[in-house]
C-alpha cells in the first residue's frame, strides 16, 4: 500500500528531532535537509517544520539545466546527481519554498530525497520515524481521507494544495486549525 508523508503542522513542539534524524539518513553525509521555523518568534513558541513537498511538477527540476534532479517512480524528487550537477543554483532560486541547499565548496546542490533508500521499499523517511508529536505522519491515501472525514470540513481547506501551495504536491499538508476556522480536537 503506497503511503505518503503527511504533515499536521500545528502539532510541532519544536524539538528538532526531524533535523537530527535527517543527518543520519544514508547519503545525507551528516547534514540535514529540512527546516523548523518559529511562527511568531517574538510572541510565542509555536514552531512548524518545513521540508521539500515533492511537487508533482517540480520547479527545481524544471529549472535545472543539467537534468541533475531526477524524479523517482514513487514521485519523490531526488537530490542532485553528483556527476551531473553543474553548480548553477537555478534550483535554489526556482523552488517556491526555498528548500534546496547548496554547498559552494563541493559545487553541489543537495536536498530532501524523502530518504529514497527507505521510502522506495515503503519504510517511512527518517524525519517521520522520530517525530514525537505526530506532526509528521506516514499514511495511506485512505487514512488521509479518513482524517478528512473525521473533521468533516466541506470548505476545501482541509488538506492544502491550491491556493495555499503553489502546485500539487506528493507530500500532503494539513492546514492548522486557525486557517480552517475550527479548533481541532485530538
Nearest 5°: the CA angle 173, 174, 178 is: 135
Q: How many residues bind other proteins (CB under 8 A)?
A: 62
Footprint of other proteins on 96-125 (CB under 8 A): 96-99, 103, 105-108, 116-117
Binding-site member from 5, 19, 60, 126 for ligand SF4 (CB under 6 A): 60
Minimum CB distance to ligand SF4, residue 101 (Å): 10
- Helix (H/G/I), strand (E/B), else coil: 137: strand
Question: Is residue 139 involved in binding ligand SF4 (CB under 6 A)?
Answer: no
Among 71, 74, 75, 87, binds other proteins (CB under 8 A): 87
Q: For residues 53 and 50, give the distance between their C-alpha atoms in angstroms, rounded to a whole number.
A: 8
How crowded is residue 135: how many other Cβ atoms within 10 Å of its Cβ? 25
Stretch that binds ligand SF4, among 7-15, 81-89, 123-131, 135-143 (CB under 6 A): 81-89
- 16 belongs to the binding site for other proteins (CB under 8 A): yes
**Alpha helix stretches (DSSP H) within the chain:** 17-23, 59-63, 90-94, 116-119, 126-130, 141-151, 177-180
| Residue 52 near which of other proteins, ligand SF4, none (CB within 5-8 Å, type-dependent) | ligand SF4
- Among 36, 76, 126, 131, the residue binding other proteins under the rule CB under 8 A is 36
Query: How long is the chain?
Result: 186
Cα(126)–Cα(25) distance, integer angstroms: 7
Residue 7 interacting with ligand SF4 (CB under 6 A): no
Rg of the chain in Å (alpha carbons): 17
Cα angle, residue 98 at apex, residues 63 and 41 outer, rounded to 5°: 170
Residues found near other proteins in the complex (CB under 8 A): 9, 16, 19-20, 22-23, 26-27, 30-32, 35-42, 46, 48, 50, 57, 59, 62-67, 82-84, 86-90, 92-99, 103, 105-108, 116-117, 160, 164, 166-167, 173, 175-176, 178-179
Amino acid at each position: 500500500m503506497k503511503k505518503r508523508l503527511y504533515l499536521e503542522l500545528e502539532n510541532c513542539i519544536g524539538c528538532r528531532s526531524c533535523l537530527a534524524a535527517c543527518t543520519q539518513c544514508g547519503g545525507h553525509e551528516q547534514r540535514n535537509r529540512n527546516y523548523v521555523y518559529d511562527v511568531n518568534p517574538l510572541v510565542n513558541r509555536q514552531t512548524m517544520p518545513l521540508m521539500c513537498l515533492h511537487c508533482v511538477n517540480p520547479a527545481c527540476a524544471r529549472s535545472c539545466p543539467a537534468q541533475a534532479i531526477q524524479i523517482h517512480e514513487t514521485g519523490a524528487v531526488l537530490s542532485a546527481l553528483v556527476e551531473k550537477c553543474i553548480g548553477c543554483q537555478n534550483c535554489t532560486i526556482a523552488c517556491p519554498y526555498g528548500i534546496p541547499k547548496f554547498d559552494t565548496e563541493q559545487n553541489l546542490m543537495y536536498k530532501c530525497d524523502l530518504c529514497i533508500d527507505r521510502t522506495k521499499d515503503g519504510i517511512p523517511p527518517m524525519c517521520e520515524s522520530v517525530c514525537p508529536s505526530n506532526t509528521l505522519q506516514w499514511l495511506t491515501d485512505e487514512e488521509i481521507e479518513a482524517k478528512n472525514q473525521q473533521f468533516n470540513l466541506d470548505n476545501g481547506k482541509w488538506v492544502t494544495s491550491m491556493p495555499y501551495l503553489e502546485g500539487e504536491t506528493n507530500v500532503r499538508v494539513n492546514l492548522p486549525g486557525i486557517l480552517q476556522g475550527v479548533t481541532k480536537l485530538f
